[in-house]
């Protein structure tokens, strides 16, 4: 039955609870994977530059370091891709993430090793300066790409700094005081920059998650408000104005109307309370929905007001009187284990036909037929056959 399901009651608002660090880290990890894989392209230039510089010397050490760096970049690509597939498949990521971090740390160590040995291997000041600048720029770019994920940026930078310090302190590499200070300053500065970028990335990610949740919440509230503006909150059926709008869109399509009024509803309220009355209204509306789902899925059903319901059957192939009788029978069988034993629910129904454009006239005929059903003893269907002149009515009693 079109537009008659109670969707509002099933709408679940997205919880705007506190966002934990694990959720933020997860989103940053996925973003970092995409950025880091794309960042592999930035390594092509420094590898090419250092390869050209290495070709100017017969020392094989720089070639070895260059080969190891290329292997480490392949390892970064492979481990990051594996980690990404594991995340998408919902598998455990701990081992894959550790392998990725090890590949990043290895890359940092190899870059530092190149810097430490390039002066000794080449000896030319221009070549040394070019190599140093190339490696430093590469490190800066790599750290900035990985900085949003502290767990990745710090292994890369940590490997670079540790290898640099070991080369100066343990292997007695001959660096000027200026070069040593420059290397220390750069390492400290990159740590600070990485931490600052990581902090900002966490804040931005958290704000993004909150904005996304709020957007979902607002969208759901808008859908719920829109639904409530067209539906009755108790029954989930269309309200009066929504039904009239829907019928107005039908033009002059032949449309049967069925009006149903719950018999002795005031007595139900007076005898058993308004809460029981609401339960009866909800039960009758469920009966209407179930009956129409089987007999007329395109029907429009609405709570017209109080205990009165209306059903519009546009261009329905099934006899409206038969549908009304099935509905009357279903309502008369309503019961519930929690209801009072003496409570009996029945309905009086009136049926009329006419074009949708003449809704008011058809409604008056159906309304008159419904009151005839009450006058004839209730719990029955009365049909108004509008063929011109005074309508003739046929009663279908229980």
Q: pLDDT tens-digit profile of 325-342?
A: 999 999 999 999 999 989
With contact defined as beta carbons under 8 Å apart, do 301 and 310 qualify?
yes
Residues, the chain, total? 398
Whole-number pLDDT of residue 92: 83
Distance CA 394, CA 392 (A): 7
Residue 78 clears pLDDT 90, i.e. is over it: no
Tens digits of per-residue pLDDT, 198-219? 777 777 777 887 888 888 889 9
CA distances from 56 to 30, 49, 70, 126, 174 (A): 41, 11, 19, 12, 21
Any idea which of 56-70, 75-89, 129-143, 236-250 has the lowest mean pLDDT? 129-143
Q: What mean pLDDT is predicted for residues 104-126? A: 69
378 with 263: CB under 8 angstroms?
Answer: yes
pTM of this prediction exceeds 0.75: no
Query: pLDDT band for position 269 (50/70/90)?
Result: very high
CB 83 within 8 A of CB 26: no
> Angle of helix 125-146 relative to helix 44-54, nearest 10 degrees?
160
Model confidence pLDDT, tens digit, residues 127-153: 555 666 666 667 666 666 665 555 566
Identify the band that residue 389 occupies on the pLDDT scale cut at 50, 70 and 90: very low
pLDDT confidence bin for 100, thresholds 50/70/90? confident
Query: Stretch 367-387: mean pLDDT, rounded?
Result: 89
Split at pLDDT 50, 70, 90, the class of 237 is very high
């Amino acid at each position: 039955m079109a537009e008659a399901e109670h969707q509002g009651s099933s709408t679940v608002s997205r919880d705007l609870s506190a966002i934990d660090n694990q959720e933020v880290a997860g989103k940053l990890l996925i973003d970092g994977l995409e950025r880091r894989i794309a960042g592999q392209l930035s390594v092509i230039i420094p590898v090419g530059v250092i390869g050209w510089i290495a070709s100017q010397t017969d020392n094989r050490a720089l070639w070895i370091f260059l080969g190891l760096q290329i292997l480490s970049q392949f390892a970064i690509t492979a481990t990051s891709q594996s980690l990404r597939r594991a995340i998408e498949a919902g598998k455990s990521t701990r081992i894959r993430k550790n392998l990725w971090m090890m590949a990043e740390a290895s890359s940092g160590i190899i870059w530092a090793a190149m810097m430490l040995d390039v002066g000794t291997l080449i000896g030319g000041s221009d070549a040394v300066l070019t190599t140093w600048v190339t490696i430093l720029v590469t490190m800066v770019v790599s750290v900035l790409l990985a900085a949003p994920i502290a767990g990745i940026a710090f292994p890369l930078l940590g490997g670079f700094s540790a290898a640099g310090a070991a080369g100066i302190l343990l292997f007695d590499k001959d660096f000027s005081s200026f070069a040593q200070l420059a290397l220390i300053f750069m390492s400290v500065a990159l740590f600070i920059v990485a931490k600052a970028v990581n902090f900002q990335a966490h804040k931005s990610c958290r704000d993004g998650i909150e904005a996304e949740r709020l957007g979902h919440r607002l969208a759901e509230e808008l859908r719920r408000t829109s639904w409530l503006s067209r539906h009755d909150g108790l029954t989930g059926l269309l309200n009066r104005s929504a039904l009239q709008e829907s019928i107005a869109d039908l033009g002059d399509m032949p449309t049967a109307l069925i009006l149903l009024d719950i018999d002795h509803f005031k007595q139900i309220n007076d005898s058993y309370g308004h809460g029981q009355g609401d339960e009866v209204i909800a039960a009758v509306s469920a009966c209407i929905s179930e009956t129409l789902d089987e007999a007329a899925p395109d029907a429009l059903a609405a709570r017209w007001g109080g205990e009165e319901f209306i059903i519009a059957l546009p261009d329905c192939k099934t006899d409206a009187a038969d549908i009304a009788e099935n509905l009357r029978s279903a309502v008369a069988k309503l019961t519930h284990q929690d209801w009072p034993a003496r409570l009996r629910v029945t309905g009086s129904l009136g049926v009329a036909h006419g074009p949708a454009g003449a809704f008011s006239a058809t409604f008056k005929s159906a309304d008159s037929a419904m009151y005839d059903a009450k006058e004839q003893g209730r719990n029955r269907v009365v049909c108004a056959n509008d063929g011109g002149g005074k309508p003739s009515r046929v009663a279908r009693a229980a």
